[in-house]
Amino acid sequence: MSDTNMTDYPAKAGTWLLRLLILCVPVANVVASLLWGFGGRDAVTRGFGRAAFAFILLASAVLASGGLLAANYLLSAVLAAG
Amino acid sequence: MSTRKKPGLILAGALLGLVLLPLWVAAAALASAGLLAGLALAPPTPAWARQLPRPEDSPGLAAELGQALGSASLGSHLQLPEAELNRLLAAALRDLPAATIQPSRAGLRLTPGAAELAVQLAMAQPQRLAAGFSLRPLTMTARLRLDLSQADGSLVLSLKGLTLGRLPVPQRLLTALAASGRLPLDGLELPEGLSLRLDGPAGPHLVLAYAFADRYLPDLVRLQSVESVEGHLRLGLRLDDRLSARLLATLSPSLSARGGELVAALEASAAAGIDRASLQPALDAAAALASLGTGAAPAQPSALVSFMVNQATVRGADGQERLLDIGDDLYAGSTILTGPGASLELLLRDGSSLYLDENTEFGLDSLPQAGTTSITRLSLVAGRARAVIQKLIDPQSGFEITTGAGVLGVRGTDLVLSYHAGQELTLQVLRGSVALQPPAGEATLVPAGQAIQADASQLRAGLNLPLEPFPLDEATIAALNEDLALSTRPEDEAAIRRSGATLAILEQARRLAAGLGDLDHASLSAVGRQIGQTVDLDALGASLNELRRESAFRELLDQLGLDASTIDQRLRSLQ
């Protein structure tokens, strides 16, 4: 069986739902994405895990930038107020 | 998955997750706090910025300008209220060419030294989708906070803040954008007299030369200053010098003589039984007309008020206080007081200039005469003053500025002196040299580009402690030149005097006309008969007729409410 043959892929909707739920849990999402991405049984799981890991890193960078901007704004507001 | 690999991945994931977790929590908390603070602190567009006149309702710039100038009383200052200015802005917007982003409404809110400009920007024209349905234009109100200052014959508008809708754009971002040259201003073509500068200590600023306003003002007036006061823009106007000189030469001697005759006629009317109280305004104006000069400098030494911002008063030698105006002469023994936000410039007869900053008390103890040996004594009681003193050629002449802490002896100097009794004394010398002589002890010589400063303890010790001059850095010199910039020059003196004298004559003529206009019909007829017998109206009519040949003068009479075409009829009706 080919790993890329989606019609033959055994994972069911419930499995995907569980994976997505795990990705919503802090810390567990990083562990799970690394396990799927670099220790997955098949190519689909490995691809999904690596994409999830990349997404977590990207979201962290965006969130950190937003936080820095917000901190800068708050600091300016506090300095301006007094 | 190999069992060897699994623990390593779990460990790495857990570690990375634990590192990222506080980062997520902190960033999410900060972002939420920033969003909430932004919503709470960002002010909504104020009501005044949402109720601005619509350009499509405006009759046009020429009509609005005529109305604004016509409703204002012509004096050495012209007050334009916000409502008038906003109508002028609406008229100016009406004539703008179509563009993708169109300013649809604009208005100003004025405070002392600052203004807020609100511009409603429409992003697109309404599109008709189907019968009964159309897209509303996407609009946003941009508000610019501007500081208004004057420098070198221009008004400088410095950008101090920008708010787009409810989003305040930080000043640091504006300055950085301006400095980076990335603002899309390359294609912006400004009319002559306007220039936009994006660098310099003031940050991004627009420079508006006063000469730019001449094309929009009537021929007879020239713009000399612009300042923002609460709810008004105050324009300093000087009459066109050619017109002033001609009016004074033609009309002043005649009006001066007729003023005396008018006083006699009005006195005779009062004696004949007309209520004296109702005649009093006209009598006062006629007496003032009789005593007005020709704009020439008075015989005794005086200091001319050449420029003024906000209100300043003078206390005469008799202790009486009165408000000052541009063109006033001040004599020895007077003390000038400037209030908060006020400043004043004086021209002395020897060509020296003085600038008095806000909250300053300055005494004119002895004033210089033109071209003669004289000792000038001035005193700074409190506040800050700049003195640009002409070089004294005659060794017998002297120029002294006294403070409570000592006497400054100067010869050809540009200095800034700040003194607050018992607190501090600062002397900054920009040109020449100054000797500071304390009440007891040796004088300290301060050369050009240097300064001395004395604090409370040194002042208490009578400046007997040694004062060491220290050099002034370039930034301080530039700031002094900007803060205490002199906007009038000694060569302006004659024009300022002529403008002041002309405006005084016109103001008294207006008051005389108003005073006579307030009389009832029977009284006016009786006064008219007296005037016809006593006043040489032919001579007055001849002077007026000569001036009326000039369009600028006709315009001036119209502005004063004296319709030139009916003056002859009025004069004839009096006879």
Domains and CATH numbers, chain B: 53-237 (no CATH), 240-294+494-574 (no CATH), 310-487 (2.60.120.1440)
Please report how the helices B564-574 and B537-548 are oriented relative to each other, as an axis angle in degrees rounded to 10: 170
Question: Percentage of residues in chain B with pLDDT exceeding 90?
Answer: 10
Q: What is the pLDDT of residue B255?
A: 76
What average pLDDT score do residues B144-170 get? 82
CB-nearest to B27 from A33, A38, A67 is: A67
List of chain A residues whose C-beta atoms are within 8 Å of the C-beta of residue B21: 26-27
Taking all residues of chain B, what is their mean pLDDT, rounded to a whole number? 80
pLDDT in tens, B448-498: 999 988 888 777 777 666 678 899 988 888 888 877 878 788 888 888 888
B92's CB contacts (< 8 A; 6+ apart) are B61
Q: Which residue of B has its CA nearest to A41?
A: B1
For residue B129, pLDDT over 80 is answered with no
Q: What is the pLDDT of residue B383?
A: 93
Task: Tell me how far apart the alpha carbons of residues B316 and B305 are, in angstroms, rounded to a whole number.
Answer: 15
CB contact under 8 A, A31 and B17: yes
Is A1 among the domain residues? no
Q: Which residue of A has its CA nearest to B35?
A: A70
> Considering only residues 268 to 287 of chain B, which have any Cβ-Cβ distance to chain A shorter than 8 Å?
none
Q: Which residue of B has its CA nearest to A81?
A: B41
Total residues found in chain B within this entry: 575
Whether B18 has its CB under 8 Å from any CB of chain A: the answer is: yes
CB-nearest to A70 from B5, B9, B33 is: B33
- B570 pLDDT band, cuts 50/70/90, is low
Instruction: Report the sign of the C-alpha dihedral through residues B147, B152, B155, B156, in that order.
Output: negative
Q: Which has more confidence, B128 or B324?
A: B324
User: A3 to chain B, minimum CA–CA distance in Å?
Assistant: 15
User: B424 to chain A, minimum CA–CA distance in Å?
Assistant: 28
Exposure string of B105-141, with b = 16+ CB inside 10 Å and e = fewer, is: bbbbbbeeebbbbbbbbbeeeeeeeeeeeeeeeeeeb
Beta partners for B9?
Answer: none
CB contact under 8 A, B31 and A35: no
Task: Tell me how far apart the alpha carbons of residues B162 and B116 are, in angstroms, rounded to a whole number.
Answer: 10
**CA B101-B107-B111 angle, 5° bins:** 135
- A1 pLDDT band, cuts 50/70/90, is very low
Is A72 among the domain residues? yes
Is A54 among the domain residues? yes
Q: What are phi and psi of B476, to 5 degrees?
A: -65, -45
What average pLDDT score do residues B540-553 get? 74
Domain that residue A67 falls in: 6-81
Beta partners for B414?
Answer: B388, B431
- A20 pLDDT band, cuts 50/70/90, is very high
Domain count, chain A: 1
Is A77 among the domain residues? yes
> Considering only residues 8 to 67 of chain A, which have any Cβ-Cβ distance to chain B shorter than 8 Å?
26-35, 38-41, 56, 60, 63-64, 66-67
Model ipTM over 0.95: no
User: B160 to chain A, minimum CA–CA distance in Å?
Assistant: 14
Whether B123 has its CB under 8 Å from any CB of chain A: the answer is: no
Is A75 among the domain residues? yes
Whether B478 has its CB under 8 Å from any CB of chain A: the answer is: no
Q: Which residue of B has its CA nearest to A29?
A: B17
Is A43 among the domain residues? yes
Q: Is B377 helix (H, G, I), strand (E, B) or coil?
A: strand
Q: Which has more confidence, B245 or B448?
A: B448
What average pLDDT score do residues B167-175 get? 76
Whether A71 has its CB under 8 Å from any CB of chain B: the answer is: yes
List of chain B residues whose C-beta atoms are within 8 Å of the C-beta of residue A29: 17
Task: Tell me how far apart the alpha carbons of residues B247 and B211 are, in angstroms, rounded to a whole number.
Answer: 23
User: B150 to chain A, minimum CA–CA distance in Å?
Assistant: 27
pLDDT in tens, B330-386: 988 999 999 887 889 999 888 889 999 999 999 999 888 776 667 888 999 999 999
Is A40 among the domain residues? yes
CA-derived radius of gyration, chain A: 19
Whether B1 has its CB under 8 Å from any CB of chain A: the answer is: yes
Is A45 among the domain residues? yes
Task: Tell me how far apart the alpha carbons of residues B210 and B233 are, in angstroms, rounded to a whole number.
Answer: 14
Size of interface A-B (CB pairs under 8 A): 83
For residue B293, pLDDT over 50 is answered with yes
CB contact under 8 A, A35 and B9: yes
Question: Percentage of residues in chain B with pLDDT exceeding 70?
Answer: 86
Question: Percentage of residues in chain A with pLDDT exceeding 90?
Answer: 41
- B393 pLDDT band, cuts 50/70/90, is low
Task: Tell me how far apart the alpha carbons of residues B461 and B468 are, in angstroms, rounded to a whole number.
Answer: 15
pLDDT in tens, B44-91: 778 888 788 888 888 877 777 777 766 555 555 677 888 888 888 888
Q: Which residue of B has its CA nearest to A78?
A: B37
For residue B425, pLDDT over 50 is answered with yes
